[in-house]
Structures are given as C-alpha cells and as structure tokens.
Structure 1
Amino acid sequence: MSVVVALDSFKGSLPAAAASAAFADGWREVDPAAKLILRPMADGGEGTLDAFAAAVPGAERRPVRVRGPRGTLVDAEWLLLPDGTGVVELASTSGIELLGEDRLPWDADTTGFGQAIAAALDAGVSRLVLGIGSSASTDGGSGMLRALGARMVDADGRDVPAGARGLAAVSAIDLTRLRALPVGGVTVLSDVTNPLTGPSGAAAVFGPQKGLTSADIVVVDGVLERYAACIARHVDGVDPLLAGAGAAGGSGFALAAWGAELVRGAERVADLVDLAGAVAAASLVVTGEGSFDGQSAAGKVPAFVHGLAGGRGVPVAVVAGRIGTDADTSGFAHAVSLTELAGSAEASMADPVRWLQDAGRSLARHGA
C-alpha cells in the first residue's frame, strides 16, 4: 500500500514536517510493509518558509530582527533561494502565534512583515514570494506598507498609530516613497479567498479569532472600506473585492495595491514538492491541519489536497487537531480528530506527536 502524507502544520503544536513524520511512524507500527511518502504542506501560513527550505536545495536562511505584532522585537528569518528569489513569511514576523494567548485586536499590526520584506529587498533579491497566512492583526497591511515607505496621516498631518486603531484615524495616504517591486515581481501565497470587506471580509470572518467583538467588526469593516477608498485614489484598478484581498487581515489588499500577484498558496507549494506526482501512484492520501472547520474549504491545505487527489480517484483521509461542528467531512474516506482520540483539546495539544502516531495506527488498522 502506498500512502501519501500531506499534512499542514498543527498551529501552535507541530510544524508540518514533524506532524507528517509522527503520523507515518504510527502507521508503520501497524503496517510496516506500507510505502509512506511524506509531502509536508503549507498554504502561505505557518510552515511556508520551512516547506521551501526543505524542497529547494541550497536555500539559505537569513536572520532578521523585526517589530512583532505586539510592538516588541522578534527574531525571525527570510529565505534566499539559489535563483535570487526571497521568501518571506508573515506568520513568523507578524503572526498570531507570536501573541501567545493574548489578542490585540486594535493594536497588532504587520510592521514586522514589511521590515522583513525590506531586508530581502536590501539584499538585492530578484523576486519575492510572500506567505501571508496566520496574521495577528486586521490592519489592512498598513504596517507593512509603512515599513516599505508609505506614510499614513490623520487630519492634522500626524502619523497615525499602528493597527486598526491607526487606520480609523487615517485621513490621507502618501505612497510616493513606497519601495519598488523587485524586477521579477512579487507572488503572494494566500490561504483564503475572502475579499477585504463585507460579510465574508477580513473583519467579519477572521476578526473574532483576533479578538474583535461583534460591535468591533462593524467598525473595523467600515474602517477598512475607507482605507481601501484612500488607497484607490493612488492606485488604479485595485479592488477590495479581489479574491484574497481579505487575507491576513487585509494584507492581501495592500500587497495587490503594491503590484503583487495573489495566488493560492497550497497550489504553489504542491507544485514545489511535486504532490501531484506522489498522489498519482497512491492508494490513500492523508491530509489535515490543526483545526479543520468551515474556513478550511476556502483555500486551506486539506481542501486543496482533497481536490487534487479526488480528481485522480484517490481516497483522502483528514486528520486534524480538532474537527469543527461546521466542517464538511462528507467527501473524505475517514476523518480523525486528535481531540477525540486524546479525550480533550488540552490533552491532544500537550502531546501532539503521541496522538498523531495514534491516528496513524488507527487508520492503518482500518486498512484505509
């Protein structure tokens, strides 16, 4: 039996490579004759940098110290590929995991992400690939733009504060000193297809997980709408309804305004690791992530892998830290929740390797 293991990271617990390896170890205990093919995945969020580092020989990690989402310094990295491409990940510079259990819905921002991009530009990269999942903020990418040379001021001409709080005070935006794109352009790997504003926009859909209340969401959505109108005065054709504009708290919109191309992150990473080639000869594909829920269908790794394997007639199992009540598992051959195996979310997160191994043993016994 040939089993392709293509798990995304289990956010806050395990990176994708470790998660995939743990599952495979469990499977081998029951079925040592099976051929386990590991293809750790990412979709632009946490683990994207590691996916490129593992897949591209000669990739070089470059350290960078940036301002994190709470305003304190964070040690991060960007990746220089042999062809001159720079890979920068928002999750490691301005990501929600950097806040721990805290949430700063009005004040977290993307300055650190912009600083890491600037460091890559300073190093002379010929092209940029940017992963924008797992953001801590809903700042419309304004912190990133300011780190790249934009200026945003209030009605008195003073620079506005960071985050959504600052956006609420923006009266004018100056993009004349915004840094130029590298000659090879900028490709943005997004894990969602949501627009910037509206009922499926950045504030409405992702704001609650970043600490926005229902009342906050209404206010921030209006703030983002005004911000988009301000940007549109300087950039022709930029559309807040563009698929992916709402990614990373609106950073997708800001990057599109800069001139970047937004693409499905999972698709590009799959090309990089030749997932299609591995799936073609597989008996089963196993995918998953930390939380498999209603949002997983909008560009996340499990949905992409399911579509790729399903189109080739290969059954797919999903393994997740938790499976939400709004998740659609109807198209999967099996669905395994580590929370159910462990008895609680706390237990599964305390020892994810153990429970991923248990999930591997469980599916192997089913002769999946």
Structure 2
Amino acid sequence: MTHMKFVLAPDSFKESMTAKQVCVAMEQGFKTVFPDAEFVHVPMADGGEGTVQSLVDATGGEIFHLDVTGPLGSQVKAGYGVLGDGKTAVIEMASASGIQYINAENRNPLIATTYGTGELIKACLQRGIRRIIIGIGGSATNDGGAGMAQALGVRFLDGEGMALPFGGGALGRLHSIDMSGLDPAVGETEIIVACDVTNPLCGEHGASAVFGPQKGATEEMVRTLDGNLAHYAKIIRRQLRRDVETIPGAGAAGGLGAGLLAFTRCELKKGIDIIIDFSKLKEKLAGADYCITGEGGIDFQTKFGKTPYGVAKAAKAGNVPVIALAGRIGKGTHELYQEGIDAIFGIIPDIGELGSLLADGEINITRTSENIGRLMKIATLK
C-alpha cells in the first residue's frame, strides 16, 4: 500500500475533549489500520471557546494566566496565548468578560464592563506583541467596549469633566473622550477580530436588543442601553471621526466590536477563516489522502461558519476527501454533502448518561476512527 497522509483538523468536543485531544484519539484509531501512515495534527476552532487552546496547540505556542477585572468588577483569572511565532497573541474576550462570570442573581448589563479584556490586550502589548487575534463571543457585557478602552488609557468624561463609571448604563452621560492617555502601542498593533455575527451597534438588530436580554436586560434596560450606545457612537463620530454605529459586527459582544473599531487598528473577520490562516491548514493539506474533521455537534447550523464547514472548504480546494465525526448528528446534515463534507459519522456507541458519554469521548473517537480506517482499507483492496 502506498504511503498515506491524514490531516486531522477537528474542533474541540465541548466539555469532553480539546481539539488536540481529539487529534490524538483520531490518530490512535487510524494508526491501528494504517501503522505507517503520516498523521498531521491541526487542532481547530471557529473563533469561539477553545480558540486560544487550539491556536496555541496548532502552532506550538504558550498560554499565560493573570488576574484581571471581571465583568462585575471583581478579580477573575483569565489567560491569553502567544503563538509559536512568538509575535502573535490570541485572546478570547470571554476569558475576562464572559457570561460564565454572572448568574441570575447578580447579572446587570448596566454596570458590566469589558475592562478585563482591555487588561489582557495591555498584557500582550507589554510583552511586545504587535499582532493580536481576539475572539469576541460569549460576553456578559453591553458597554460598547468602553471598559476595554478605559484599560488601555482612554477616559470617558461627563459634562463636569468627571470620569464615567464602568458599564453601558453610564454612557448616556458621556460628553467627551480623552484620548491623551491611550497606550501608544495600540496604534502600532494589528488587531484581528474573530466575529461571526453581523449585528450593528444599535437598533432592533443591535447589541442591546438582540443580546441584552440573555445578559439580564429588561425591556426598559434594553431601551436605555440602546439609546446610550447610540449617544456613545455619536460622540465617537464627532470626536474621532469614526462611524461605528452601523458596521456589521459592531454589535458583537455587547458592542465590543464597535469599541475595537473606534479605538484600535482592527479588522473584523470570520473566526474559522482566521484559524485556517494562522494554523496553515491549507499548506498542511498538500498531498493529503484524507482530511478528518469534527466537533461535538453537527447539524444544519454547521454550514454557517462552523469548523467542519470551514475545514471542508479548505480541503475541497485541494481535492482532499473530508470525513467528519460528531457526538451528536442533528437535522439538516444532508445539506453538508453539497458543501464539501463527504461522510459524517456519529461516535456514540449506545444510549448512555451524558456525563459518561462526555468522559468516554476519546475512546469513542478512537473506535470510530479505527472502523472508518477499516472501511478505507477494504476500498483500497478492491
């Protein structure tokens, strides 16, 4: 049998395995059938949870931890990654300002802040990093990224020249923006924002109306926050000559998209496209016989920018067959066969309790991979 090359490019299986662990389990299964094959691990993500881990794993980088200001002002432990090139950092804003830090009793989008996300950016700048990837999903905030800017030295002042407190609830009193304290390194830094939503900052499809309620906003709060963000955008337009109100993605993460557009040199891109680029997936697919991808659940939503869809598009450009593994296969997956995925396999062997299925993820990936390999071997013998 000729030398075979497998590119293993899965996402994490949430609450079960990191993408790197999935790669290892896949290789173990396929290697049983093809012991002499080449296996290239490319841990993937789509810009959401797991992005830091996947890019660090894919590039041989390192993760750093520090205490930052959480969304409600208390200290939380967050982290960021530095990729293998030593020049690029990757941040998940949820690590510092995520919805996991609030609950039904304490959530309050009027005071929630992205200050901690700004502290992560500042830590990267102090390390000499001048290119930062930021995933901006899963926020607890609705402050238009004002907290992030405050951490970088921007001051938001009321009519009396007093600094505004944290949170989108105070932005209605914004009178002027003092940029004199902004860290000069911000202007020298390329920021690539992983953003998969197209919501504008304000209005019926804006940050407050669409995402505010899940962060605890009542109807009255939504009206207040939306009006405050519109006022904030007006002051930014007047003072900074940047119009961030209607740009698609400005409303992501409670308006953090708008804040990054206003105060940094940034570009908004689809998360999966960023990961494909920085993991060098396309280059690694050269000469591959098969590409194996997957994630915890595959269904009709997968084609809207999820990892298996993005991997399949990259593989198809090089005519590499794509097989996807999933813990759960939902409705609408037949559409994926027109989008570059050649076959989809579920990994769960029997009906079981969720906790044990999550715990057995690696065993189930390995067994399923071995069985796919056995099927491939039959086909090669024909």
TM range (shorter): 0.7 to 0.9
Partner-residue secondary structure (3-state), 1:7: coil
Work out which of the two has the higher radius of gyration on C-alpha atoms and give 1 or 2: 2
Checking the alignment, whether the CA contact within 8 Å between 1:292 and 1:322 is kept in structure 2 is yes
Equivalent residue for 1:266, pick from 243, 260, 272: 272
Partner-residue secondary structure (3-state), 2:240: coil
Cα drift, residue 115 of structure 1: 0.9
Q: Which moved more, 1:200-209 or 1:173-182?
A: 200-209
Cα drift, residue 129 of structure 1: 0.8
Cα drift, residue 221 of structure 1: 4.9
- Deviation per CA, 1:105-149: give whole Å up to 9, x if none: 6254322111111223334x2513132243322422222122122
Cα drift, residue 253 of structure 1: 1.9
Tell me which residue corresponds to 2:325.
319
Paired amino acid for 1:240: E
TM-score by length of 1: 0.79
Tell me which residue corresponds to 1:95.
98
Partner-residue secondary structure (3-state), 1:112: helix
Alignment RMSD, CA only?
3.9
Equivalent residue for 1:227, pick from 232, 237, 249: 232
Matches for 1:111-150 after TM superposition, within 5 Å: 111-123=115-127, 125-139=128-142, 140-150=144-154
Change (3 A) 1:225 1:182: closer
1:309 aligns with 2:315: yes
Structure 2: gaps spanning 5 or more residues: none
Change (3 A) 1:122 1:35: closer
* Alpha-carbon distance between aligned partners in 1 of 2:272 and 2:105, rounded to the nearest angstrom: 28
Paired amino acid for 1:357: T
Checking the alignment, whether the CA contact within 8 Å between 1:127 and 1:183 is kept in structure 2 is no
Partner-residue secondary structure (3-state), 2:200: coil
Equivalent residue for 2:336, pick from 329, 342, 346: 329
Matches for 1:192-341 after TM superposition, within 5 Å: 192-197=196-201, 201-203=206-208, 210=215, 221=226, 223-262=228-267, 263-292=269-298, 296-323=302-329, 325=331, 329-330=336-337, 331=339, 332-337=341-346
Cα drift, residue 190 of structure 1: 0.5
Partner-residue secondary structure (3-state), 2:312: helix
Change (3 A) 1:218 1:272: same
Partner-residue secondary structure (3-state), 2:79: strand
* Alpha-carbon distance between aligned partners in 2 of 1:207 and 1:317, rounded to the nearest angstrom: 38
Partner-residue secondary structure (3-state), 1:280: coil
* Alpha-carbon distance between aligned partners in 2 of 1:9 and 1:96, rounded to the nearest angstrom: 20
Percent identity between matched residues is 33
Checking the alignment, whether the CA contact within 8 Å between 1:63 and 1:78 is kept in structure 2 is yes
Checking the alignment, whether the CA contact within 8 Å between 1:338 and 1:355 is kept in structure 2 is yes
- Deviation per CA, 1:274-306: give whole Å up to 9, x if none: 211222322332333345466654444333222
* Alpha-carbon distance between aligned partners in 2 of 1:136 and 1:265, rounded to the nearest angstrom: 16
* Number of residue equivalences: 365
Checking the alignment, whether the CA contact within 8 Å between 2:89 and 2:124 is kept in structure 1 is yes
1:46 aligns with 2:49: yes
Partner-residue secondary structure (3-state), 1:9: coil
Tell me which residue corresponds to 2:71.
69
Paired amino acid for 2:23: S
Checking the alignment, whether the CA contact within 8 Å between 1:39 and 1:275 is kept in structure 2 is yes
Structure 1: gaps spanning 5 or more residues: none
TM-score by length of 2: 0.76
